[in-house]
Amino acid sequence: MKKKTPSSRRSADDRGFRLGTGFFALLVVLLVAGIFWELYRTSQLSLEKFGFKFWTGKVWDPVSGEFGALPFIWGTLYSSVLAMLISTPIAIGIAVYLSELSPRRLRTPLAFLTELLAAVPSIVYGLWGVFVLVPIVRQLQVVTPSWLKKVPLFSGPPLGVGMLSAALILAVMVIPFTSSVAREVLRAVPATQREAAYALGATRWEAIQAALRYGRTGIIGAIILGFGRAVGETMAVTMVIGNNPQVTASLYAPQYTMAAVIANEFTEAADDLYLSALIEIGLVLFVITVIINACSRLLIWSVTREVKFKPPKPVSTVAVPAAKGA
Amino acid sequence: MNRTRRRKFLSGVVVTLCAGSVVLALIPLFFVFAYVLQKGFSSLNWDFFTKMPKPVGETGGGMANAMLGTVYLILIAGAFAVPVGIIAGVYLSEYGKKTFAGVVRFTADVLNGVPSIVIGIFAYGLAVLPVKHFSALAGGLALGFMMIPIITRTTEELLNLVPGSLREGSLALGATRARAAFSVMVPAALPGIMTGILVALARIAGETAPLLFTAFNNRYLSTSLLQPISSLPVQVYTYAVSPYEDWHRQAWAGALVLVAFVFFFSVLARIVTRRLERMHAK
**Nearest residue in chain B measured CA to CA from A93:** B18
Using CA atoms, how far apart are residues A236 and B202, in angstroms rounded to an integer?
A: 18
Q: Is the pLDDT of residue A134 over 90?
A: yes
**Residue A87 included in any domain:** yes
Q: Would you call A101 and B15 a contact, using CB atoms and an 8 Å cutoff? A: yes
Q: Is the pLDDT of residue B144 over 90?
A: yes
Q: Tell whether B17 lies on the interface with A, counting CB pairs under 8 A.
A: yes
Cβ neighbours of A280 in B, within 8 Å: none
Count of domains for chain A: 1
Q: Is the pLDDT of residue A37 over 90?
A: yes
Q: Is the pLDDT of residue B250 over 80?
A: yes
Cβ-nearest to A38 among B18, B83, B122: B122
Q: Tell whether B101 lies on the interface with A, counting CB pairs under 8 A.
A: yes
Q: Tell whether B264 lies on the interface with A, counting CB pairs under 8 A.
A: no
- Is the CB of residue A237 less than 8 Å from the CB of residue B116? no
Provide the whole-model pTM: 0.90
CATH classification for the domain delimited by B65-231, as one of 2.40.50.140, 3.40.50.9100, 1.10.287.1770, 1.10.3720.10: 1.10.3720.10
| Average predicted confidence (pLDDT) for chain B | 89
pLDDT at res. A312:
44
Q: Is the pLDDT of residue B180 over 50?
A: yes
Average pLDDT (B118-141) is: 92
**Nearest residue in chain A measured CA to CA from B87:** A21
For B:110-169, CB contacts with A below 8 A are 110-119, 121-122, 124-126, 129, 145, 148-149, 152
Confidence of residue A326 (pLDDT cuts 50, 70, 90): very low
- Please list, in sequence order, all residues whose beta carbon lies within 8 angstroms of the beta carbon of residue A272, skipping any fewer than 6 positions away: A45
Cβ atoms within 10 Å, residue B10:
14
Q: Domain ranges in chain B?
A: 65-231
pLDDT at res. B44:
85
Cβ-nearest to B212 among A128, A175, A266: A266
Q: Is the pLDDT of residue B22 over 80?
A: yes
Q: Is the pLDDT of residue A315 over 50?
A: no
H or E segment to which residue A66 belongs: strand A66-67
The whole-angstrom distance between B51's CA and the closest CA on chain A is: 22
pLDDT at res. A6:
66
pLDDT at res. B61:
80
Q: Tell whether B177 lies on the interface with A, counting CB pairs under 8 A.
A: yes
Confidence of residue A294 (pLDDT cuts 50, 70, 90): very high
Among A123, A130, A296, most B C-beta atoms within 10 A, so best to mutate, is A123
Average pLDDT (B158-185) is: 89
* pLDDT tens track for B191-243: 878 888 888 888 888 899 999 999 888 888 888 888 889 899 999 999 998 88
Q: Is the pLDDT of residue B87 over 70?
A: yes
**Residue A207 included in any domain:** yes
pLDDT at res. A323:
37
pLDDT at res. B218:
83
Q: Would you call A90 and B21 a contact, using CB atoms and an 8 Å cutoff? A: yes
Q: Would you call B252 and A127 a contact, using CB atoms and an 8 Å cutoff? A: yes
Domain span including residue A157? 45-308
Cβ neighbours of B15 in A, within 8 Å: 101, 204-205
**Residue with more model confidence, A134 or B199:** A134
Total residues belonging to chain A = 326
Q: DSSP class of residue A54?
A: G
CATH of the domain at A91: 1.10.3720.10
Q: Is the pLDDT of residue B10 over 60?
A: yes
**3-class secondary structure, B277:** helix
* pLDDT tens track for B40-59: 988 888 888 888 888 777 77
* pLDDT tens track for A49-61: 998 889 989 999 8
**Residue A323 included in any domain:** no
Confidence of residue A4 (pLDDT cuts 50, 70, 90): low
CB-defined contacts A:B, below 8 A: 270
Q: Would you call A225 and B129 a contact, using CB atoms and an 8 Å cutoff? A: no
**Residue A79 included in any domain:** yes
Cβ atoms within 10 Å, residue A69:
26
pLDDT at res. A321:
40
Q: Tell whether B19 lies on the interface with A, counting CB pairs under 8 A.
A: yes
Average pLDDT (A258-277) is: 91
* Closest alpha carbon to B42 in B255, B185, B258: B255
pLDDT at res. A310:
43
Min mean pLDDT across A193-207, B84-98, B190-204, B241-255 is at B190-204
Average pLDDT (A285-310) is: 83
pLDDT at res. A3:
56
Using CA atoms, how far apart are residues A269 and B132, in angstroms rounded to an integer?
A: 13
Q: Is the pLDDT of residue A188 over 80?
A: yes
Using CA atoms, how far apart are residues A127 and B236, in angstroms rounded to an integer?
A: 8
Using CA atoms, how far apart are residues B247 and B219, in angstroms rounded to an integer?
A: 14
Cβ-nearest to A205 among B15, B90, B266: B15
- Is the CB of residue B54 less than 8 Å from the CB of residue A136? no
Among A114, A124, A178, most B C-beta atoms within 10 A, so best to mutate, is A124
pLDDT at res. B265:
81
Q: Is the pLDDT of residue A174 over 50?
A: yes
pLDDT at res. B1:
62
Q: Would you call B206 and A13 a contact, using CB atoms and an 8 Å cutoff? A: no
* Closest alpha carbon to A293 in B111, B120, B89, B152: B111
Q: Is the pLDDT of residue B164 over 60?
A: yes
